[in-house]
Structure 1
Amino acid sequence: MSGRSSVAGGPADHHGLGGLADAGAFLARLTRLDSAAVVRLRSADSGRTELWARLPWSVLVQRTVAGPGPGDVTVSAAELLGCLAAGDPGMPAGRDGNWRWALPSGPARTVESVPVDDLRRVAAAAAGTLRAAETQGVGGRAVGQRALRDALLDHVAIVVTADDGPARRIEVRQAMVQAVVRMGFLGNASGSAVVRVRIVGSWVALEAPFGVAWIQRVNTLALSPMIVHPNG
């Protein structure tokens, strides 16, 4: 999906963002992970704007910030971050053609809530597994760092059974957990705070306090450690 719309939001030559701190935090994290990333701004209801981006490990991330936005425009994340830092209300040059990914559509349904502290433990355990594999190998054999990271991201971190009709196994990969952690979507939340596992169509989402990670491909791999929730 790509393109530019002036149906909602402000002029396409102004970013129209009011939540500059929130948008800046999203863009700063994104550009640290991928300096060449693009970000898609989509004006939403109630004078707010959705920021969308794709991480290098094929997870879509979304954060909604204050401000009517420019309609529907894709730009360089680094260039937009520069505009915000300089207090410039203008938009960088459009890069709509660089957006090549579908977005989830329709209202998502929550199938499970996972305590934030549990998600942090899963992320920490994955990091520990990676460190151990890098130093000790796997089964006594050395494995390349990239192969290790790819395998870890593909592992299933959370399994949920959806109860809408025939039971469906919903798998949340470590890639999504790492997305919400590394994009700062958990913030300082702890205690009773939760991350919601949500679904719409073929999409699975992790909705954290400060953003959402989305993925369309559902994997069948197994992970240890793993959180299993029997019902949504």
Structure 2
Amino acid sequence: MGDHGIRGVADAGAFVARLARLDRSLPVRLRSGRSGRTALWARVPWGVLVTREVEGPGPGDATASAGDLLTVLAAGGGELPGRRDAEWRWPLPPAGIQAVESVGAAELSRLADAAAGTLREVTAAGLGGRSVGQRAVRDALLDHVALIVTPAQGDPVAVPQRLVQAVSRMGFLGTPDVDGPGARVCVAGRWVGLSAPYGVAWLQPVRELTVMPIGGHPKG
């Protein structure tokens, strides 16, 4: 199976543990980069790609399940768990990332908490006296534009709640009760991202989503 090549086990373990709490079967893609670092990628259940770079040369390009990878990392093992390369079906953001504006951690946490509170209230009490399914409310909240930033040049960039929830639930903002450096709103092509201290969340517009062939990884 080969060596997973991860040396930053604590950082990788924190990332994969969050994914495993969402779904242990989530595919996690390990991609070797430059300067002896590895990027871990995953797609959370609400359709956002999340990534974190860790120390170590990595295995090249391989995919394993979150649960299997977490088990290996927690045990201090060095072997790459059973490969699930065919389960990775999503393109990655292109190169040429542009930072648009910074947003404070406290503001992003407030937006994430407000959405979670609304979900609880509407699910429990209904909307306008009518019962509403939790999934319908959740999807509407995730699609809601949480904030809009306007660069010095170019069109305004809409940041949906899906991205805010990703950086919050993946722990990318750090300690929730400390207003740290927050995140940068980024664009790469038509992708929109939130680059936080401990990871990046990316979302591709729905009209551009592509189903990739199951035989092999997308290139790029």
| Pairwise same-fold verdict (TM > 0.5) | yes
Match of 2:211 in 1: none
Match of 2:187 in 1: 199
2:144·2:160 contact (CA, 8 Å) conserved in 1? yes
**1:158-207 CA-partner distances (Å, limit 9, x unpaired):** 1112343xx41211111111111111111116335121000010110001
Q: Write out aligned runs for 1:90-105 (5 A).
A: 90-105=79-94
AA aligned to 2:109 is: R
Matched, 1:86 2:75: yes
Q: Tell me the distance in 1 between the aligned counterparts of 2:42 and 2:167.
A: 13
Please give the root-mean-square deviation of Cα atoms over the aligned residues, in Å. 1.5
**Which of 53, 57, 63 is the matching residue for 2:46?**
57
Moved more, 132-141 or 65-74: 132-141
Match of 1:223 in 2: none
Matched, 1:217 2:217: no
1:218 to partner: Cα distance = 6.4
Q: Tell me the distance in 2 between the aligned counterparts of 1:111 and 1:39.
A: 28
Q: Tell me the distance in 2 between the aligned counterparts of 1:94 and 1:128.
A: 39
Match of 2:156 in 1: 169
Match of 2:216 in 1: none
Match of 1:21 in 2: 10
2:38·2:54 contact (CA, 8 Å) conserved in 1? yes
Q: Tell me the distance in 2 between the aligned counterparts of 1:131 and 1:57.
A: 17
| Closer, same or farther: CA 80–179 of 1 in aligned 2, 3 Å | same
- Residue 168 of structure 1: SS of its match in structure 2? coil
Identity of aligned residues (%): 57
Q: Tell me the distance in 2 between the aligned counterparts of 1:133 and 1:36.
A: 30
Q: Write out aligned runs for 1:37-56 (5 A).
A: 37-56=26-45
Q: How many residues align?
A: 206
Stretches of 4+ aligned residues off by more than 4 angstroms: none
Q: Tell me the distance in 1 between the aligned counterparts of 2:159 and 2:102.
A: 12
| Closer, same or farther: CA 58–89 of 1 in aligned 2, 3 Å | same
**1:87-113 CA-partner distances (Å, limit 9, x unpaired):** 110011211111000001212111010
**1:34-91 CA-partner distances (Å, limit 9, x unpaired):** 1210100001111110000000110000000011101111111111111111111001
AA aligned to 1:35 is: R
Q: Tell me the distance in 2 between the aligned counterparts of 1:65 and 1:207.
A: 15
**Which of 106, 119, 134 is the matching residue for 2:95?**
106
Match of 1:182 in 2: 169
Matched, 1:208 2:196: yes
1:19 to partner: Cα distance = 0.6
**Which of 112, 124, 139 is the matching residue for 2:113?**
124
Matched, 1:136 2:128: no
